Structures are given as structure tokens and as C-alpha cells.
Structure 1
Amino acid sequence: MSKTTDGGHTSITNQRQISVAAACGSFMEWFDFATYGFFAATIGQLFFPNDNPATELLLSLSAFGIALVMRPLGGVVFGIVGDRMGRRASLTGSVVLMAVSTTLIALLPTYASIGIFAPIALVVLRMLQGTSVGGEWAGAATFLVEQAPRNRRAMLGSVVPATAAVGGLGGVVVALTLTNVLVQGQMLDWGWRVPFLLATPLGLAALYIRLRLEDTPIFTEMKADGAIAQAPTREALRRNKRAIALCFFATASATVGYYYLVTSTPNVLMSEEVGMSRMAALSVTGVILAIYTAVCPLAGLISDRIGRRPTILLGAAGLIVVSIPAFQLLSSGNVVMVVLAMAVFALFEAMVNVTMVVLLIELFPARTRMTGCSLGFNLAGALLGGPAAVIVAASVSAIEFSGAGGIYTAAVAAMTLVGLYFLLPETRGRDLSGHEEIAQKKELLVSLSD
């Protein structure tokens, strides 16, 4: 039995293999990326020592943000690779870069050993991580959605944000385990390095799985017909400006909302104002990420059923409404209320994030798909997602209002809602395989046969 996609016929067994290939790299990338957020306070002590713990945390979160600033470069580099050399080549390169840079972070000497060179080296490696993430998300989405049946694209595309959350959940489990078995001195000495060392086996596993699969039928068809874009970045900027803008708006809330869940939640709960223990804060964060993972497929089903436009607009509107109240409840430290509030937030975030994954693919022609969607996706990640953790932390410190940390998320969601309301068409069911050169050749063959 087989299911038809825009690129040809993909067996159910192969569809599962494709999903695993997209999922394993997404898990590894975001496990490594989220791990930094969970150990931000410890890293701040070791690499940015200061008499003020809040300053240490802000400096550490700034290093977190610098990685997101590098995402556009990664999007351009891996987008060009994906559009010229193949989707699989892009996925392979991004996962190798993440594994190497993360492993090197685990081996870094601290400020006490080599002084100012320690934070400099950390920032450089964080920049390499950000470059990798810039290629991973769009690459995994393209590889997966290009081979999905038309009526299940969002459902299958939900694998990407869901496994990113599972990666974050894996980081929570590791952080909880280390917190439970190590004393503070051991954590500062070597315990924080353990999650980063896991990048090596995770990266090798992801690389092995991805190298065993063939490229997508859509790219294979383009290559066979000589329709590969020679300058995909220039072509995308010339022909796909509206689509890039739409990706920017769609990604804005998805990125900021996700970091709200992964980094702001544990850091606020562990702050002096809330006073929750590290173990309790990470446990609550793990529950919230598990809920988010579970609702991602539901968001995919909704998007496949009612369409991309109503789903993402509803998700953005929901984020506007719940972001500030959710942060107020988060700041209360009441575990039950925190979980309930963030569960509602997670549902709206999933509606935006899952639909965004499919829009990245459906908005662009095959020739410039990876380059174009990577530009819009990563510009939003860099300009709005990059400073999100620092802005939220600074807002909490500067504004005497318990919901201050949610203001930025609500404002970005409002921008998404307005931008997409006026510009976004319905893309559900679009043909993903069409590109101009092939269409022209087919028209020429028809005219010759007549």
C-alpha cells in the first residue's frame, strides 16, 4: 500500500523512516540548544563571574541569544546547500556542525582557568550552534513535508516542533538527574558538562539515520530535469519577497513563544522572586513540555482540517490573550496554576508553530524552497527570538508587574496576527512539486505532440 505525495509515491514504511530521520536530528539539535537554557545560571557563574547573580544570568542569556542571531547565516548556507545539493545534504551538514560545536562546549576551560578567553570561546561555539539551528528546522520541515500526503502535511509536519520539545524534555530529564545526584560543587566542577557531551553519540545516531535515506522525490525530479536554481538566494529575494515576509510573521510568534516555554519558565520559577527549587522548577518545565509535545499532533489535525490561515490566526490571537495572565500565574509559583496556565499557552503556541512548519514549505516554489523559507524563518528567530530571553528577564527585573514577562510575547503575537491577517492566503493542498522549468518543458512536449 502506498500514499501519493506531490513528489511521487511514498510507502507507509518509508514515511515512518522519513519521520524518524527528521525527528532524530530535530531532537538532537534542540536537546543541545535547550540544555544551555537549563544550565544558563551555572554557565553564568563559570564563564561570566560577577558579584550580582542577575548580571551573570543576563550575560549567560546574551550568549544564548547570540546563537539565534547567527541563524540567518545558517539559513542562507544550508538553504543554498538544500536547494543546490539536496535536502539530505543540508540535513547532514547541520547535524554534524551541531554535534561538533556542542561537544567542544563540554570541553571548554572556564573563566577561572583561562580568563577572558573562556567567554569568547563559548560565544564562538554558540555562534556555530546557531548557524546549525539555522539550517536544521527548515531542512527537516522540507524533507518531511515534501514527502507527506496532501491531506496530512500538518499532522506529519508536527513531528518537527514536537520532537524539538521532546529534545527540551530530554534536557529537563538530564538536568533533573544531575541536580538530584550531584552536590553544587560537583555541578560547577563537571556536572554541567555532561549534557553537552551527549552531543557526540546523539549526533552520530542522527547522521547514520539520515545517510541511509534517499533525497526527496521533488528534489530528485528537479535534478533530473535540470531545474536546479543556480543562485537560489538571489532568485528567492527577487521572486519570493512576499513569501519570505509571511514566513517572518509566522515564525515570530512561534519562536518567541517556544523560548517562553523552554527558557523563561524554569528561569522565572528559580528566580529569587518566586524561590522555587531547581528540581521543582525543572519538573514543572518538563510537565509543560510534555503537554506541548502531546498537543502538537492535535494542532496538526486542526490545521489539516480547517486550513492554515484560520489555525495560525487563532493561535496568534490566543497568545495575545493568554501571555500576560500566564506569566502572572507563572510568577505566583503555584504549581497547579502554573501548569494549567502554561498548558493553555502551549496549545495556542502549538497551533502557531505546527502551522508555521507547513507554511514554510507551501509558500515557496521547489527551486528556492529551502533558501526562501530559511531566510524568513531565521530572520524572525534572530531579530525577535534572539533577544527574547534577555528582554523577558530584563522586563521582570525592571517592571513592578507580575505579568511583565508576557508583554513581549503578546506584542510579537499581535504583530503576527496583523501581518498574517492582511497578507496570508490559504495554502492547504497546494502542489509542492511544480516549478517553472519542468512546467515549461511539459508544455513544450505537449505542443510538439500536437
Structure 2
Amino acid sequence: MITRDPATTPATDLRRRLIAVGVGNFIEWYDFAIYGFFAVAIGANFFPSGDPTASLLSTLAVYGVAFLMRPLGGFVIGAIGDRRGRRFALVFSVTMMGLATALIAFLPNFATIGIAAPIILVLLRGLQGFSAGGEYTGSTAFLVENSSPQRRGLTASIIPFTGAIAVAAGAGTALLIANLPADAVLSWGWRLPFLTALPLTLLGLYLRLKLEDTEVFRELKAEGAVVTAPIRTVMTSNAKALAVAFGLSAITVLGFYYLAAYAVNYLLVTVAMAPPTALTVVGIGALVYACFCPLMGSLSDRIGRRPVSLIGGIGLALFSVPAFLLMLTGNPFLAVLGMLLFGVFQAMHISTTTVMFIELFPAETRLTGSSIGYNLAAAIVAGPGPLIAAALAAVSAGLPALYMAVVAAVCTGLLFRSLPETRWNDISANSGATSEPTDAARTAPTSREVGRGW
């Protein structure tokens, strides 16, 4: 039996895992985010129309198509992670995302190949969605299973942190490309960030191939406890955890895509902010939001996941509309303030949701359960989010965040009654997830006493 405590793992091994997973996660979400930043240019190339709003809506609809593939990716890649290992799932997801994104860079536009252009774009976006369906929870499981029990929230926050950094990097890339002449951006400039996918994917693949699988999965394998039908097991044995994961994901994924995909288009199309200014506002907002994530993850290690998560959900319900009204002023300072108002509550919710995905499910079905709950909500609730927000903005410039506020209010109300405190759950290979802390967990040392543990 493998019994080594993650807190005693050499610091160099911990840093290597952190970098490999963080870089790979950055690649995934950079690739996914740049589609949102260049939605206007993509719309002009693949959905030409005399109405810019109609082209944008078509492009955001394709953005939503990727979410429809995410549950399938969650089912398949999650099951792969529970049957073949966490490392195998991470390698699979980053390779697929990188190749699909690079192919978008070379895709001829509507003027060149006609209706085939948007059809192929939809297929490639579907592959991106399939890949993303397994990346988020797979990366989190890999990190958290290697984490000190007292710092799981902080460790898991690396995933939303690198996702936010990826959004900021995408905004910075778009800002550089915005300096090109407008016709150059529309004809070929928008393709440049997609081209970066190939070298970034090779880097992420190299780093992940050098990793060992987690001790939790190796122990499951050594004990013959690997589940042969993880999807069926989740549906029959983990239904309550699945429902909680769905509710958490509905809020947190929708919030992230308001920040990553919709905010910049809102500033460009609805507010009519100059592209360099809009990209700067979103980039600053994403960077500060990234800094909020580890703070909130660490806070949940001290006071618990449940209170931080519920406050985040309530905050999104109450302040999403005011945040976008601040952006609507067109004043860059107030727009940044709006991004930060939205971002602080989103950071509270996503940082706790990320770690609770892992703590809610037993080791043998962890990736499958968390991936299914996460991606079903992403497809059903969050996927249409940018499109619904753009449609609401077309009706009234102050309405786009109403969808976010309603989803946060409804789901938080339901979670208030059903959300367990998972901070002390045993996530080892030989213990199912439980909302009751074990004696060992109750007497465990604090994060300060752990020293070099994550």
C-alpha cells in the first residue's frame, strides 16, 4: 500500500507537478478564451452579415456549441481518468485542445470555401469543448490528490488562477494585435493567437508526460479498486454529490464566461469602447481576479468551503447587474471597478467550487462524477450564457447581467439547504467522500505547521 503523506513529498516534486498542471491548464483556457476576444473578427470571416450584432450573435452561438460537447468530454475523459489514471487524462485533453485550436488558425473563411467554413469551425469548436470537458476537473484532481489536507483550497485555486491569467494573456495578445490596421486584423491578424496553440501544446504535453500519476490512483490500482464502469457507479451511488456539483458549476462556469468571453464583447459592441481600452479593462480585471482566487482558496482552508461559496453566490446574485452598469458608463476606471466587483465574488465561488468538486466524490469515481456534474451545468446553463447576455443587451444595454443574477440567486438558494461542508472530507483511495470530518482530520496540524506542504 502507498501511504506517503503529500505533505512530506519533496518540494521539487511538488513544484514540478504544480508547473506542469498549471501550464497545461493555462494552455487550455488561453486557447478557449481567445475565441471570445476575437469573436467580432471571427464573425466577420465566418458569418458575414450587414449587421455586426447578428454576426456576433452567430459567433457566440458557436461558442455555445462547444459547451454542448463538454458533457460528452466529461463522460469520456472523466471515465478515462478513473480507469487509466489522472496523468493519462491530462495528456489526452491538452493534446486535443491544442490541435483543434491550431487548426482554427488555418481554416479558410466563408468567402473562400462558403458554407463549409462555419461548419468546420463548429466541428473544431466541438473538439475544443470535448477537451475542456475533462481538463478542469482532471487538473484539479491531480493537484488536490497531491496536496496537504490543510491546504487543499489554496492548492485547487491554482486552477482558476491560471485560467484567469490565461484570460489576461489573451487580452494582452489581442491588445497587441489591435495595433494592426483594422483590415489586417480582420483578414489575418485574428489568426495569430490561434497559431501559438501548437508550440504551447507541445510544451504542455512534454511537461505532463514527465509526471507520475497521483498516489491516490496508484493506490487504487495496487489494491484492485479501480472501477470498471465509473459512469454507472456515479449515477447509482453518487447522485446527491452529482446534484450539488451541478448547482455549483452552474454559477461558477457562467460567471467565468461572463468574465472571459462576454465582458470584452459587451464593452466593444454595446458600450462602443475603443478596442485597446476595452482589452486593457478586461486584462486588468482578469489579473486582479486571478489574485483573488488563491486568497479565497486559502480563506476556505481556514473557515470552510460552505460560507465562502455561499457568500460568493449571494454576491453574484446581488452585484452582477450593478457591475455591468458600471461598465456601461464607458468610463475606463468605472469599468475596471465593475470587473473587480464581479470578480471578487466570482473568485469566492470558483475557488471553493474547484476544490469541492474533488472533495464531494470518492476516489474511485472522482473524475467521472466531478466532470459530469461540472459539464452538464456548463452545457445547459453556462453554454448559452454569452449568447443570452448579448441578446439581452440588444434589448437593453443594462440587462445582460440579469441572466447571471437569476442563475446565481436560484442555485444559491437551493445550495443553501443542500451544500455540505467538505473541508475535512477524506479523499484518500480507501475512504469514500463524507461530510463528517475524521478524527485524524480534526486533529491535523494547521497549514502553518505543515511547512512545505501545499
Does the 8 A contact of 1:35 with 1:195 survive in 2?
Answer: yes
Corresponding residue number in structure 1 for 2:68: 69
Does the 8 A contact of 1:87 with 1:215 survive in 2?
Answer: yes
2: CA distance, partners of 1:141 / 1:436: 19
Corresponding residue number in structure 1 for 2:18: 19
Does the 8 A contact of 2:65 with 2:125 survive in 1?
Answer: yes
- Find the residue that maps to 2:176 and give its secondary structure: helix
Corresponding residue number in structure 2 for 1:249: 247
- Find the residue that maps to 1:214 and give its secondary structure: coil
| 1:270-322 C-alpha deviation (Å, 9 max, x unpaired) | 11x42211111001100000010111111111111110111100100111111
Range 147-156 or range 260-269, more displaced:
260-269
2: CA distance, partners of 1:360 / 1:170: 26
1:173 aligns with 2:168: no
1:430 aligns with 2:430: no
Does the 8 A contact of 1:138 with 1:374 survive in 2?
Answer: yes
Alignment of 1:281-300 (within 5 A): 281-300=278-297
| 1:203-225 C-alpha deviation (Å, 9 max, x unpaired) | 00001111111000000000011
Does the 8 A contact of 2:390 with 2:400 survive in 1?
Answer: yes
- Find the residue that maps to 1:301 and give its secondary structure: helix
Does the 8 A contact of 1:151 with 1:304 survive in 2?
Answer: yes
| 1:233-256 C-alpha deviation (Å, 9 max, x unpaired) | 000110001101111111111111
Residue 10 of structure 1, CA deviation: 2.1
Corresponding residue number in structure 1 for 2:299: 302
1:355 aligns with 2:352: yes
1: CA distance, partners of 2:347 / 2:53: 31
2: CA distance, partners of 1:322 / 1:11: 43
Does the 8 A contact of 1:82 with 1:139 survive in 2?
Answer: yes
2: CA distance, partners of 1:387 / 1:422: 27
Q: Percent identity?
A: 46
Residue 14 of structure 1, CA deviation: 1.4
1:378 aligns with 2:354: no
Corresponding residue number in structure 2 for 1:277: 274
Residue 8 of structure 1, CA deviation: 7.8
- Find the residue that maps to 2:9 and give its secondary structure: strand
Q: Among 319, 323, 334, which residue is 2:320 paired with?
A: 323
Amino acid corresponding to residue 117 of structure 2 in structure 1: A
Corresponding residue number in structure 2 for 1:312: 309
1:369 aligns with 2:366: yes
- Find the residue that maps to 1:185 and give its secondary structure: helix
Does the 8 A contact of 2:143 with 2:155 survive in 1?
Answer: yes
1:388 aligns with 2:385: yes
Does the 8 A contact of 1:4 with 1:149 survive in 2?
Answer: no
2: CA distance, partners of 1:403 / 1:256: 18
2: CA distance, partners of 1:362 / 1:426: 10
Change in 2 beyond 3 A, CA 1:52/1:155: same
Q: Among 407, 412, 415, which residue is 1:417 paired with?
A: 412
Residue 341 of structure 1, CA deviation: 2.2
2: CA distance, partners of 1:71 / 1:54: 26
Alignment of 1:68-107 (within 5 A): 68-107=67-106
Residue 4 of structure 1, CA deviation: 6.7
2: CA distance, partners of 1:152 / 1:414: 29
| 1:389-418 C-alpha deviation (Å, 9 max, x unpaired) | 0000000112x3x43111111111112211
Residue 332 of structure 1, CA deviation: 1.2
Does the 8 A contact of 1:266 with 1:285 survive in 2?
Answer: yes
1: CA distance, partners of 2:281 / 2:338: 12
Structure 1 residue ranges without an equivalent (≥5): 438-450
2: CA distance, partners of 1:51 / 1:320: 36
Residue 435 of structure 1, CA deviation: 3.4
Corresponding residue number in structure 2 for 1:403: 398
- Find the residue that maps to 1:230 and give its secondary structure: coil
Does the 8 A contact of 2:7 with 2:148 survive in 1?
Answer: no
Change in 2 beyond 3 A, CA 1:338/1:8: closer
2: CA distance, partners of 1:236 / 1:198: 37
Does the 8 A contact of 1:69 with 1:130 survive in 2?
Answer: yes
1:134 aligns with 2:133: yes
Corresponding residue number in structure 1 for 2:446: none
2: CA distance, partners of 1:66 / 1:238: 29
1: CA distance, partners of 2:11 / 2:235: 36
Change in 2 beyond 3 A, CA 1:262/1:8: closer
Residue 9 of structure 1, CA deviation: 4.1
1:224 aligns with 2:222: yes
Amino acid corresponding to residue 31 of structure 1 in structure 2: Y
2: CA distance, partners of 1:404 / 1:275: 16
Range 254-263 or range 229-238, more displaced:
254-263
Q: How many residues align?
A: 430
2: CA distance, partners of 1:330 / 1:8: 44
- Find the residue that maps to 1:405 and give its secondary structure: coil
Amino acid corresponding to residue 428 of structure 1 in structure 2: R
Corresponding residue number in structure 1 for 2:450: none
Does the 8 A contact of 1:8 with 1:217 survive in 2?
Answer: no
TM-score by length of 2: 0.93
Corresponding residue number in structure 1 for 2:153: 154
Structure 1 consecutive aligned stretches of length 4 or more whose deviation exceeds 3 Å:
434-437
Residue 40 of structure 1, CA deviation: 0.2
TM-score by length of 1: 0.94
| 1:108-162 C-alpha deviation (Å, 9 max, x unpaired) | 0000000000000000000000000001001000000111111100101110001
1:185 aligns with 2:183: yes
Corresponding residue number in structure 1 for 2:210: 212
2: CA distance, partners of 1:331 / 1:434: 50
Residue 12 of structure 1, CA deviation: 2.1
